[in-house]
């Protein structure tokens, strides 16, 4: 393994599986060690640093900075299946949020140096600056196979095996936890040109900057509101459309979100949801959600567009899905995941309301689904044929 090393470390899953590696990123023993405890999801003042979270794997071949800064990873430890991470460094333009919310990262090989004209900092330096711990030198193939067989498992990593084992034994999954409350904005802010032809109110369940750039690029002035904003306050802003963003964790645990979206449906205001926004919309339409065995995390997931039969390669990051059998007859399934048959998109037949499970903004990932932003603006502008995907 190449890269900056601090100390030998171990990763232990709650089921007892152990992996040996070396600590990277935020220094072990720092006062701000990630874990369960503080209001910000961190344990402060612990003598022995331990990262605690739900361990998942991401299959993307690039885009590690966007992945680490995606708020949808709150409460989770990210395993990168691609073996060589950090080779092109990091830069401020690729941040999806001002800081990471993940509990840590797991890599096979951390690059010794960054090689890109865009790079302003190494990945290791980036992790240290943001207080994010990591473990390198792990057999990520064995770990990924274990997670595929066992499902996403809570776990912990650190430099003292006894401390890590105790933390792993007591670690908890993300089920039933309102992680959105830890990542959403606490105030209304705007993005884009105030004189843009379309006005969108976006719920911040953990919104990514690339989504805001796509909406602004499609001709939208965006007002971003906290996740707890009631529907009547959104309606009072007289938007041309409402956007439901991505975000972390269990959709059933997001306080007030399902009720707010249910109140927006039927008002005639176009609604577009992505990822967690899709799951919350599904629940608002009378459906239910369930946790996937190990989730969908990566930039290479095939999705079939039901109306055309076209297969789109998509970027995904979620652990929950909408139950197809629970949907009302007035809901059309628009997209299906070809790996496991999970619902990837839905739309109301008689309302300008639709959503997708994947990420059409592709930060990172392919751009096959970018047309969905045009579908949304078409609905808002009343363009002929703009009735959703």
281: helix, strand or coil: helix
Cβ proximity of 265 and 228 under 8 Å: no
Q: Residue 286 — φ and ψ, nearest 5°?
A: 100, 0
Q: pLDDT band for position 346 (50/70/90)?
A: very high
**Residue from 73, 64, 59, 56 nearest 246 by CA:** 73
Residue range 205-222: mean pLDDT, rounded: 97
CB atoms within 10 A of CB 16: 10
> 3-state SS string over 24-84?
EECCCCCCEEECCCCCCCEEECCCCCEEEEEEEEECCCCCHHHHHCCHHHCCEEEEECCCE
pLDDT digits (tens, 9 = 90+) for 295-339: 999 999 999 999 999 999 999 999 999 998 998 879 999 999 999
Q: What is the largest CA-CA distance in the chain?
A: 64
pLDDT digits (tens, 9 = 90+) for 98-147: 999 999 999 999 998 899 999 999 999 999 999 999 999 999 999 999 99
Q: What is the pLDDT of residue 31?
A: 34
Spatial distance between the Cα atoms of 333 and 356, rounded to a whole number of angstroms? 10
Q: pLDDT band for position 1 (50/70/90)?
A: very low
Q: Long-range CB contacts (< 8 A, 24+ apart) of 28-32?
A: 28/133, 28/158, 28/159, 29/159, 30/131, 32/131
The larger pLDDT score, comparing residue 41 to residue 299, is at: 299
pLDDT digits (tens, 9 = 90+) for 3-29: 454 589 999 999 999 999 999 999 765
Q: What is the pLDDT of residue 112?
A: 84
Q: What is the pLDDT of residue 36?
A: 46
Residue 211 has pLDDT above 80, yes or no: yes
Q: Residue 376 — φ and ψ, nearest 5°?
A: -65, -50
287: helix, strand or coil: coil
Domains along the sequence of the chain with CATH: 8-169 (3.50.30.20), 180-381 (3.40.50.880)
SS3 content of the chain, % helix, strand, coil (to 5): 25, 30, 45
Residue 37 has pLDDT above 50, yes or no: no
Before 32, cis peptide (omega within 30)? no
Q: What is the pLDDT of residue 382?
A: 86
Spatial distance between the Cα atoms of 357 and 280, rounded to a whole number of angstroms? 11
pLDDT digits (tens, 9 = 90+) for 222-269: 999 999 999 999 999 999 999 999 999 999 999 999 999 999 999 999
Q: What is the pTM of this model?
A: 0.92
Looking at the annotation, which residues are catalytic?
Answer: 275, 359, 361
Residue 48 has pLDDT above 70, yes or no: no
Q: What is the pLDDT of residue 8?
A: 94
């Amino acid at each position: 393994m190449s890269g900056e090393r601090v100390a030998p470390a171990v990763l232990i899953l709650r089921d007892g599986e152990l992996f040996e590696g070396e600590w990277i990123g935020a220094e072990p023993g720092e006062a701000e060690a990630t874990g369960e405890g503080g209001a910000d999801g961190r344990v402060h003042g612990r003598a022995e640093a331990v990262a605690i979270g739900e361990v998942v794997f991401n299959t993307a071949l690039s885009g590690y900075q966007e992945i680490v800064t995606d708020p949808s990873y709150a409460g989770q430890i990210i395993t990168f299946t691609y073996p060589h991470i950090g080779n092109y460094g990091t830069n401020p333009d690729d941040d999806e949020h001002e800081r990471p919310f993940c509990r840590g990262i797991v890599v096979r090989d951390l690059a010794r140096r960054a090689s890109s004209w865009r790079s302003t900092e190494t990945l290791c330096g980036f992790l240290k600056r943001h207080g994010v711990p990591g473990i390198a030198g792990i057999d990520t193939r064995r770990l990924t196979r274990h997670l595929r067989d066992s499902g996403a498992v809570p776990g912990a990593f650190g430099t003292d095996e006894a401390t890590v084992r105790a933390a792993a034994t007591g670690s908890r999954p993300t089920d039933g936890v309102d992680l959105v409350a830890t990542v959403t904005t606490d105030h209304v802010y705007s993005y884009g040109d105030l004189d843009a032809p379309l006005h969108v109110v976006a719920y911040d369940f953990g919104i990514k900057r690339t989504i805001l750039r796509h909406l602004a690029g499609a001709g939208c002035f965006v007002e971003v509101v906290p996740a707890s904003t009631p529907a009547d306050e959104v309606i009072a802003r007289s938007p041309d459309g409402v956007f439901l963003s991505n975000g972390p964790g269990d959709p059933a645990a997001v306080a007030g979100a399902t009720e707010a979206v249910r109140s927006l449906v039927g008002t005639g205001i176009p609604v577009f949801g992505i990822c967690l926004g899709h799951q919350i919309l599904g629940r608002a339409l009378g459906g239910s959600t369930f946790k996937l065995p190990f989730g969908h995390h990566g930039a290479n997931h095939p999705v079939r567009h039901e109306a055309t039969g076209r297969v789109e390669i998509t970027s995904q990051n979620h652990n929950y899905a909408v139950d197809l059998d629970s949907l009302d007859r007035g809901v059309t399934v628009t997209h299906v995941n070809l790996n496991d048959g999970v619902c990837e998109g839905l739309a109301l037949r008689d309302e300008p309301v639709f959503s997708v499970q994947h990420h059409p903004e592709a930060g990172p990932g392919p751009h096959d689904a970018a047309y969905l932003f045009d579908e949304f603006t078409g609905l808002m502008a009343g363009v002929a044929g703009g009735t959703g995907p």
